[in-house]
Amino acid sequence: MLSKIILAGFGGQGIIVAGKLLASAAMKLGKNVTHFPSYGAEMRGGTCNCSVVISDKQISSPIINEPDVAIVLNKPSKDKYEPKCKTNGMLILNKSLIKDETKRTDLKVGYIDASEIAERIGNSKVANMVILGAFAKITSLVNINSLIDSLKDVFPTMPDKLLDLNIKALQEGFNLAYVI
């Protein structure tokens, strides 16, 4: 098993930490993992991405040219990564912010109204968690419990109230994701 996952969105959408949570959850399941952020000048508002590789074997490179799965939270990221996905790969879209149709026909496409759901449950910032929940549902690469279990490792100082909100976001994403 070798899965190459790219998460992408605006800076400030919590892309890097979402990748970290995903890698952490896979690590808890006994997998080899790498997490690699885009680094440098991107700050809030810029585009931002990170790469997560999950494998049974030692991982050669954390850098991904052709992702198996691209999790995209905004339109510029969809435009960038849709063409890069592996043949018969998968795209998971934040439907709240991406209205366009997917051009490629070989891709499996998963949808979640991540931003809307996040807002509904209390904070638009947890859209990253909503889409991760959706990812868990659609791919089964990690399970929802391992994501929840990893929250404390990735956010060691997070107050309980916020932790609960993040858990809720993961669960809502898991429950409401759908594939066309």
Partner 1 sequence: MEKVQLLKGNEALAEAAVRAGCRYYFGYPITPQNEIPAYMSKRLPEVGGVFIQAESETASINMVYGACSCGARAMTSSSSPGISLMQEGLSYLAGADLPAVVINVMRGGPGLGNISPSQADYLQSVKGGGHGDYNLIVLAPYSVQEIVDLTIKCFDLAFKYRNPVMLIADGMLGQMSEPVVLPKMIDVKDDLDWVVGNGNHAIIHSLYLNPEDMLEIHNAKLQKKYEAIKNECIEFEKYLCDDATSIFVSYGTPARVCKAAIDELREKGIKVGLFRPISLWPFPEKELNELASQVANHSGKVIVVEMAKNQLEQDVKLAVNGKCEIVALNKLGGAIFNETEIIDFVLKDRK
Query: What residue ranges bind partner 1 (CB under 8 A)?
Result: 20, 23-24, 27, 32-37, 39-40, 57-63, 65, 153-154
Q: Which C-beta is closer to partner 1: that of 115 or that of 146?
A: 146
CB of 152 vs partner 1, minimal distance in Å: 12
Among candidate residues 9, 10, 128, 6, the one with its CA nearest the CA of residue 62: 6
Q: How far is the CB of 63 from partner 1 (least distance, A)?
A: 5
CB of 65 to partner 1, least distance (A): 6
- Closer by beta carbon to partner 1, 62 or else 122: 62
Beta carbon of residue 41, minimum distance to partner 1 (angstroms, whole number): 9
H helix count then E strand count, the chain: 6, 7
- The structure tokens listed for 82 are 């849709």
Min separation Cβ 176 and partner 1, Å? 28
Give 110's contacts (C-beta < 8 A, 6+ positions apart): 90, 91, 92, 93, 134, 135, 138, 177, 178, 179
- Long-range contacts made by residues 34-38, C-beta under 8 angstroms, separation at least 24? 34/59, 34/62, 35/62, 36/62, 36/63
Which is closer to partner 1, CB of 27 or CB of 176? Answer: 27
Q: Which amino acid is at 24?
A: S
Report whether 109 contacts 177 (CB < 8 A): no
6 versus 118: smaller Cβ distance to partner 1: 6
Nearer to partner 1, 29 or 109 (CB): 29
